[in-house]
Amino acid sequence: TSARFFTAWEDRLAFRGDWVRVDQPGQAPITGQILGINGNGNLRLLTMTGQEINVYAGDVRLRPADDNQ
């Protein structure tokens, strides 16, 4: 079932807890800590301001959050 698939995906998610930068087309970059994924497959991030957001498209950069490259 879909629920089992997402549970398995969530259990194996790499880089959980790491701080990343997400570049989204036409938007400012987002810096956040990877929390997991939601039931739609979106990446869940905790921003530096404490807000939880869902990212559905973008380039995730695994460099430290303060790396401006």
Q: What does each of the 69 residues of the chain score in pLDDT, given as a tens digit?
A: 687 887 888 888 888 899 999 998 898 999 999 999 888 888 999 999 999 999 988 888 886 555 554
Q: Is the dihedral of CA 43, 47, 52, 55 positive or negative?
A: negative
Rg of the chain over Cα atoms, rounded to whole angstroms, equals 12
Does the reported pTM lie above 0.75? yes
How do residues 29-47 score in pLDDT, each as one tens digit?
999 999 998 888 889 999 9
pLDDT of residue 62: 84
pLDDT of residue 55: 92
